[in-house]
């Protein structure tokens, strides 16, 4: 009997050890997995999208009547803008593409000159981004729209932008084997291109696709009653409004708004994610401070810009201020100040950015100007 009891006992022990062994091994494997870097520790894929502003047909004054028409199917207007002004006037000296969301490398619908400058802009911006953040941009894009001075047309363009961003964010996520929520979308917009960015909130409310904009950078965007409240939408994680007191164009639009266009958001309750900063340029050689014009924020070679009334002085000519966006973001992300003055200057062979804000110590960041200089001559108007 005792022998049988012992045999039964050892049998039970043996069976339990066999059953528990895989569990222990699995637990050990789990420990190993926990010690390896998680996917979240890897750099998040970053999409950077550039959106141009209004395109006025200054070469053909006879089509000005089309600017305020409310029908996006106005073929006459699109034909005039697309074939006469879009890639042949001053508007070719900016990040711009054919209609829709395009890679900077896309040659469809653009002239050879525009394509060449787009390539240069993307390469230079990528270098500045890498210098600022130590990571690379997975895909730089530019969004083209008709640029008409019409609120309904901007809403129409925002629909196209929204659908394109949702689709492309999914494609980037698949390429990087991550969920779409792990892709950071950075939208850098000039003038009423920023209005398109704000209108994405309305599209998300209607479509519920879970789109998120990590950084919405507004350069000289006219702040209007119809769109300023949209910054409260959860779609936007960070909103950076950069303006200049020397930018008279930003406040000229009284056609597409009930009241007037403003330089800054003046909501009674402003969310913490909104930050607003005035821009200044400093020429260290002469000690002169310049307040950037509307075109300086976005266009190349404004010193020699045509027509003549758009010309402006810049110590960084022919480079546009938008090139410094990565440095601006890097500097502002480390600052608790929600408003202040950003000064960009050449100092000690560097492009030097400093932030002055009430109640906070002055902060600064710089990039060797040698990183930018090889690109300068290629942006010159010829």
The pLDDT of residue 39 is above 80: no
Task: Give Rg (Cα) of the chain.
Answer: 26
Residue identified by tokens 């900016």 is 94
Residue 3: band (very low, low, confident or very high) from pLDDT cuts 50, 70, 90: very low
Give the total residue count for the chain. 382
Report CA torsion sign: 353, 356, 357, 363.
positive
SS3 of 79, please?
Answer: helix
* Domain residue limits, the chain: 43-379
- Contact criterion met (CB below 8 Å) for 250 and 191: yes
- Contact criterion met (CB below 8 Å) for 110 and 98: yes
- % of the chain at pLDDT higher than 90: 65
Q: Identify the pLDDT of residue 41.
A: 56
Q: Identify the pLDDT of residue 88.
A: 76
Residue 230: band (very low, low, confident or very high) from pLDDT cuts 50, 70, 90: very high
Concatenated DSSP letters of 236-267:
BS-EEEEE-TT--GGGT--SSSSS--BSS---
Q: Is 327 exposed, middle or buried (0-12, 13-18, 19+ CB in 10 A)?
A: buried
pTM, to two decimals:
0.85
Burial 268-295, CB ≥16 within 10 A → b, else e:
eebeebbbbbbbbbbeeeeeeebebbbb
pLDDT digits (tens, 9 = 90+) for 115-167: 999 999 999 999 999 999 999 998 899 999 989 899 999 999 999 999 999 99
C-alpha dist (Å) from residue 117 to 8, 76, 114: 84, 28, 5
How large is the average pLDDT for residues 186-191? Answer: 98
How large is the average pLDDT for residues 337-358? Answer: 92
């Amino acid at each position: 009997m005792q022998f049988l009891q012992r045999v039964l006992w050892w049998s039970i022990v043996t069976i339990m050890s066999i059953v528990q062994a895989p569990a222990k091994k699995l637990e050990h494997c789990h420990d190993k997995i926990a010690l390896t870097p998680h996917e979240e520790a890897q750099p998040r894929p970053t999409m950077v999208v550039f959106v141009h502003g209004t395109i006025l047909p200054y070469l053909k004054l006879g089509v000005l009547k089309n600017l305020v028409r409310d029908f996006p199917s106005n073929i006459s207007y699109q034909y005039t803008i697309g074939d006469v002004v879009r890639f042949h006037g001053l508007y070719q000296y900016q990040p711009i593409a054919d209609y829709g969301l395009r890679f900077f490398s896309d040659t469809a619908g653009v002239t050879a000159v525009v394509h060449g400058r787009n390539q240069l802009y993307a390469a230079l911006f990528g270098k500045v981004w890498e210098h600022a953040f130590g990571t690379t941009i997975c895909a730089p894009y530019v969004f083209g729209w008709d640029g008409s001075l019409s609120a309904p047309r901007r809403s129409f363009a925002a629909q196209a932008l929204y659908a394109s961003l949702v689709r492309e964010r999914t494609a980037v996520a698949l390429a990087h084997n991550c969920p779409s929520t792990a892709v950071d979308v950075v939208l850098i917009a000039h003038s009423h291109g920023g209005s398109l960015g704000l209108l994405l909130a309305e599209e998300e409310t209607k479509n519920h696709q879970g789109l998120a904009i990590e950084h919405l950078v507004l350069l000289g965007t006219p702040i209007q009653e119809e769109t300023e409240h949209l910054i409260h939408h959860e779609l936007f994680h960070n909103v950076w409004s950069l303006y200049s007191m020397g930018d008279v164009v930003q406040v000229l639009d009284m056609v597409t708004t009930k009241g007037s266009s403003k330089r800054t958001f003046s909501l009674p309750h402003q969310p913490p994610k909104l930050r607003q900063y005035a821009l200044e340029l400093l020429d260290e050689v002469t000690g002169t401070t310049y307040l950037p014009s509307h075109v300086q924020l976005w266009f190349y070679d404004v010193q020699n810009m045509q027509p003549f009334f758009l010309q402006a002085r810049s110590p960084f000519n022919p480079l546009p201020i938008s090139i410094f966006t990565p440095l601006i973001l890097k500097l502002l992300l480390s600052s608790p100040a929600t408003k202040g003055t950003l000064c960009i200057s050449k100092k000690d062979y560097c492009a030097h950015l400093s932030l002055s804000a009430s109640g906070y110590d002055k902060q600064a960041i710089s990039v060797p100007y040698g990183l930018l200089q090889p690109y300068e001559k290629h942006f010159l108007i010829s």
